[in-house]
Chain A
Amino acid sequence: MIRNYLLVAVKVLWRRKFFTFISLFGISFTLLVLTVATSFLDHTFGPHAPELKQDRMLGVYTVRLTSDDGSFQMTDKPGYKFLNEYVRTIPSAEKVSIFSDFTSTATYRKGEEVKLYIRRTDGEYWEILDFEFLEGRPITREDEQKANFVAVINEATREKLFNGESAMGKSITMEGQNFNIIGVVKNAPIIRMTPFSDVWVPLSTFKTSGYKETFTGGFMAAILAKSEQDLDLIRSDFKANLTKVQLPDPKKFPRILTGADTYFESFARNLEGGADDPRTGTLISILVLLAVMFIILPTINLVNINISRIMERASEIGVRKAFGASSLTLVGQFIVENILLTIIGGLLGFILSSLVLSYINNTGWIPYAQFGLNYRIFIYAFLMMIIFGIISGVYPAWRMSRLHPVEALKGGMK
């Protein structure tokens, strides 16, 4: 039966090429936009190298100090002192890394400026993150303790500075400091706040030790749990630590709001001022709402076209009804047709989005972003296609089933 439906569907689609084209255009474009958006989200929040252990990773990304009534607020990155005293001491964590936020700097190659981002890290950073090394080795705890002037650079920087030749044993000068390059890693995109940088050097190579006294500003922490089940334990341990916190200015800012978050939660936390807990629900609702708003117009368009296609086939439906086909059968047939159409359109959209994504990658619009398609995105896109196909097919199918056989046979309708 289904086979019959499909054969009829192909024939019908082929007969009215203009309608088929319009439908496919609408479907594939809609899916193109949704797939590109999903790919953005996946590459921002999904588990990608070097954050392969993301399912048992938490971070402390921001600290918000507020007055009692919340009218004065200061939001900043945490400082080293705060992280060292209250995050490093979380008992349930397997590993904790403290590292600086990336900052912009420059080195010079034959008088030409090469702009770079630099990040200072401890040794644990390289144990928690799974950077893929093209050559050399990571910064170790020993490098950090001994304040070795060593640097790890990324692939793009090796390309810019050494034309892609081996960087081992070479050195790089930034801000008047000279570092020996000990390793080269693959690029990490700027949308990943924890791994992104061009150059990584040990924390202890800061020009002064002033950073050790800062409560807020310039640093982040990554926490690795022993297992996924330990994440909640870590959160509560951190909360317990926060009750003992000594605030820098308790008169002006008596309250502190922060937490150990997943990367997604860290975005939700910044969404609204003064929230104690990250509002992941709100963030998800906003994303879904945006998708729904975007999808409304193409859906109505497709419904319109579908109705036109059905009305055109009024006499066919009349004949089938006259010969005893039930409304349900006709609705089923039409929905199968519509899903077939959406799947073809969806596949087209999927191919188009891979082209668009590789174009975005090539423009370097988002530094080092390598947007691509994977099975997660494919499953999402496929689900969206089916939903899109059903939504845009149900109303026209219902209209079709209500056609009066006699009128339909005459080819007329109101």
Chain B
Amino acid sequence: MIRHLLKLTWNRKRSNFLIMLEIFFAFLVLYVVTTLGVFYVDNYNKPLGFSYENVWSIVMDTQQQSIAPQQKIEKTQQLLLALKSFDEVEEVGGMFILPFSAPDYNNNYRINGRKVSVHINTVTDELKDVLDLKITRGRWFEKSDEAAKANLVVINESLSKELFGDQDPIGKPLFEVGPGEKEKIVVGVIAEFRKNGELAPLTNYFFERASMYDTVNFTLPSQLVIKLRPGTTAQFEEKLVTRLQNTVGEWSYEVESLAEAHRSHLLFYLTPLIVLGIIAAFLILGVSLGLIGVIWQNVTARANEIGLRRAAGATLTHIFTQILLELLLIASLGMLLGVLLVMQFPLLGIIDFISAKVYMTALVISVVFIYLVAIICGLYPSWLATKVQPTEALHAE
């Protein structure tokens, strides 16, 4: 049966080649969109690692004024006092890079001959309570760390696994540092901290401790995050900004709820998928309609051949499956080309933050989907083929 079909397909290679090419490109388009979709779903199912409900961020703009560290620390202290005097504010922390914000600070370290990309943030002691971070091993930063000789860091589980494997990282140096640099000592491990939200890939992350007092290293962050009492409304913002403005008038303040930032950040990730998805859907709809037309015409043109087969004793089911299987055979050939091409992505690791699992899942989904489309497109023309009467064919000869 298969050999027979192959021969038939080969005999009509010129028109079949075009259909195959069409399937090939349709498969590629579908594969790109599915990969992105599967990638998002895969990321979404992993824990975010922090809570952004009832958390607001405050960006302090010092108006580009060159300001002495001592003075900046004093003014920030005044602002912290002002914030804590509100009943609505439960906790205030500081950090260099806010969750769901555009800036990123990452570094590529060469560790044991491997290149490891690590994202870094500098945060204050209170951040754990503001963002509700989950400590899995060791401890979080403490006030007494102010006197510590080394740079203390808290890392996430991904980085712990990357650097230390199954060993316990607590108390160990993060990696070797150059001469004259302070050593970074791991004091704790948090479950996760995904700054870019649920749809972004997991990253290696570590926190350095920021100090609100240190005038020598001057790690005072200019972004604050505040945890609000549940039920605080958006109206509170005006009160908050007015008090900050009255406390240190020469700076500017930008307040945003993290829930809001989260929403627009999600949209930022989803928009390309939505636009690509709509375009792909219409492209594939166009291709499906085209396929129906082409197969239909093929069947009409091959009425003689089909009639002859019927006269020679082929059943209706035979005819039906022949037409359908021919289409599926062409589709398989087109997809084979496509699969050979897209297999190169995980093999070469072109986009390394997309895992092989995501690639393969997307591949399977795309293949199944194209087969479904091919079957749906083939149903009507195949049924039409069964309507051909043997007499027609005999008449034509």
Contact = CB atoms under 8 A, between A and B. Distances in A.
Interface of A: 18-19, 21-22, 25-26, 29, 33, 103-106, 108, 111-113, 175-176, 206-208, 210-211, 213-214, 217-218, 294, 296-298, 300-305, 307-309, 311-312, 365, 411-414
B26 A297 contact: yes
A207 B64 CA distance: 10
B281 to A, nearest CB: 10
B302 to A, nearest CB: 9
Interface string B234-249: 1101100110011001
A305 B19 CA distance: 10
Interface in B198-247: 234-235, 237-238, 241-242, 245-246
B234 A311 contact: no
Contact of A298 (B252, B283, B301): B283
B353 interface: no
A414 B12 contact: yes
A247 to B, nearest CB: 17
B63 interface: yes
A29 B235 contact: no
B22 A412 contact: no
A340 B63 CA distance: 62
B65 interface: yes
A19 to B, nearest CB: 6
A305 B29 CA distance: 20
Interface stretch (B86-94, B290-298, B316-324): B290-298
Contact of B290 (A22, A106, A175, A213): A22
B64 A214 contact: yes
Contacts of A111: 235, 238
Contacts of A112: 234-235
Contacts of A213: 64, 66
Given A218-B64, A297-B26, A29 B234 contact: no
A302 B283 CA distance: 12
Closest 7 A-B residue pairs measured CB to CB?
Answer: A210-B65, A308-B297, A176-B245, A301-B290, A108-B238, A175-B252, A22-B289
B252 A210 contact: no
B56 to A, nearest CB: 11
Interface in B263-307: 271, 279, 282-283, 285-287, 289-290, 292-294, 296-298, 300-301, 304
Nearest to B246: A176
B251 interface: yes
A224 B304 CA distance: 75
B252 A207 contact: yes
Given A29-B286, A414-B11, A308 B293 contact: yes
A305 B294 contact: yes
B237 A305 contact: no
Interface residues of B, number: 49
B253 interface: yes
Nearest to A212: B64
Contacts of B181: none
Interface in B1-46: 11-12, 15, 18-19, 21-22, 25-26, 29
A29 B301 CA distance: 29
A292 to B, nearest CB: 12
Contacts of A365: 271
Given A108-B238, A308-B294, 6 more contacts: A175-B252, A176-B246, A217-B64, A304-B18, A307-B294, A413-B301
Given A25-B286, A206-B63, A106 B19 contact: no
Contact of A211 (B11, B64, B290): B64
A33 B22 contact: no
Interface string B59-97: 001111110000000000000000000000000000000
B166 interface: no
B142 interface: no
A412 B308 CA distance: 15
B282 A29 contact: yes
Contacts of B293: 18-19, 22, 304-305, 308
Nearest to B61: A103
A331 to B, nearest CB: 18
B352 interface: no
A414 B8 CA distance: 11
Contacts of A311: 297, 301
A307 to B, nearest CB: 6
A397 B287 CA distance: 21
A111 B236 CA distance: 8
A29 B281 CA distance: 11
A73 to B, nearest CB: 14
Contact of B253 (A21, A175, A211): A175
A301 B289 CA distance: 9
Given A301-B286, A305-B294, A412 B304 contact: yes
A297 B29 contact: yes
A175 B245 contact: yes
B120 interface: no
Given A113-B238, A312-B300, A414-B11, A298 B66 contact: no
Contacts of A207: 63, 249-252
A175 B249 CA distance: 9
A26 B301 contact: no
Given A218-B64, A297-B283, A308-B297, A113 B290 contact: no
Contacts of B26: 297
B252 A105 contact: yes
Contacts of B300: 312
